[in-house]
């Protein structure tokens, strides 16, 4: 005959008052409707967040488009300002030339500064400019080198000259070319200034794209 052995188990003090119950009256029960309502609420919040992100992204794109248009308009205005400045410079230069106030002697000296003193050359000028140069260099201390001969050429515009050296080299200084060089220099300066301005504005007010969280929602 097998004897029944009973073992006593001593529970910790923290568990000594625990009672097991088969009743479920104190256990909360979530119904299917409650889970469905919570899911619908989360989905609505997600849709609202996505709509907000889409709206902000649309605003960002609109601001970027306006900035591009502003930059284009500003560039056009600056380009126009340079063209007007060049035209005004050409007009003013023409008035100065007509008044015989242009520095033809200075132009000639800059064109002949590296000539060998004994090297002969022929300098062609507009007839009016040649008369002006002869008048301005009539004094002994202002005379041009004797190796340079002045000859008139009515095909040259006033303010222009051509130097034919005995070596066969020809140097030409035309007023139109000098104005074109001024225009090119101003345009280069404008391009450099525009680049610096765009970099400064980009660093000061960066427009970043809003992250698209739809793929991770």
Residue appearing with tokens 């889970």:
35
Residues 95 and 106 in one domain: no
Residues 121 and 156 in one domain: yes
Percent of the chain scoring above 90 in pLDDT:
37
Q: List Cβ neighbours of 101 (8 Å cut-off, separation of 6 or more).
A: none
Residues 116 and 142 in one domain: yes
Residues 75 and 133 in one domain: no
Domain boundary (73, 99, 125) is at 99
Residues 54 and 114 in one domain: no
- Smallest Cα–Cα separation from 183: which of 99, 116, 69, 89? 89
Reduce the DSSP state of residue 63 to 3 states and report it: helix
Residue appearing with tokens 């520095």:
103
Where does residue 213 rank: exposed (0-12), middle (13-18), buried (19+ CB within 10 A)?
exposed
Is a pLDDT exceeding 70 seen at residue 106? yes
Q: Give 66's pLDDT tier (boundaries 50, 70, 90).
A: confident
Question: What CATH number is associated with residue 115?
Answer: 3.30.2320
Q: List Cβ neighbours of 145 (8 Å cut-off, separation of 6 or more).
A: 112, 115, 117
**Which residues are bridge partners to 171 per DSSP?**
163
Q: How many structural domains does the chain have?
A: 2
What's the whole-number mean pLDDT along residues 160-177? 92
What's the whole-number mean pLDDT along residues 37-41? 75
Name the average pLDDT for the chain: 81
Residues 111 and 95 in one domain: no
- The token duo for 142 is 């202002």
Where does residue 58 rank: exposed (0-12), middle (13-18), buried (19+ CB within 10 A)?
exposed
State the residue range of the domain holding 93. 47-99
pTM across the whole model: 0.58
pLDDT tens profile 113-143: 888 877 899 999 999 999 999 999 888 778 8
- Whether 119 is covered by a domain: the verdict is yes
Residues 61 and 90 in one domain: yes
Domain boundary (33, 68, 99) is at 99
Is a pLDDT exceeding 70 seen at residue 13? no
- Whether 15 is covered by a domain: the verdict is no
């Amino acid at each position: 005959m097998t004897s029944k052995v009973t073992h006593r188990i001593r529970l910790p003090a923290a568990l000594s008052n625990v009672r097991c119950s088969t009743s479920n009256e104190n256990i909360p029960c979530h119904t299917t409707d409650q889970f469905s309502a919570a899911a619908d609420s989360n989905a609505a919040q997600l849709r609202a967040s996505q709509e907000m992100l889409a709206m902000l992204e649309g605003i960002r794109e609109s601001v970027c488009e306006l900035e591009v248009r502003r930059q284009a308009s500003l560039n056009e205005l600056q380009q126009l300002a340079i063209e007007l400045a060049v035209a005004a410079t050409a007009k003013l230069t023409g008035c100065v030339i007509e008044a015989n106030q242009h520095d033809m002697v200075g132009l000639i000296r800059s064109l002949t500064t590296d000539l060998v003193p004994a090297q002969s050359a022929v300098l062609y000028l507009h007839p009016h400019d040649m008369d002006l140069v002869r008048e301005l260099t009539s004094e002994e201390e202002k005379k041009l080198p004797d190796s340079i001969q002045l000859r008139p050429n009515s095909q040259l515009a006033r303010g222009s000259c051509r130097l034919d050296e005995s070596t066969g080299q020809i140097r030409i200084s035309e007023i139109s070319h000098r104005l074109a060089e001024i225009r090119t220099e101003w345009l280069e300066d404008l391009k450099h200034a525009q680049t610096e301005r765009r970099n400064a504005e980009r660093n000061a007010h960066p427009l970043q794209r809003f992250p698209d969280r739809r793929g991770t929602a």
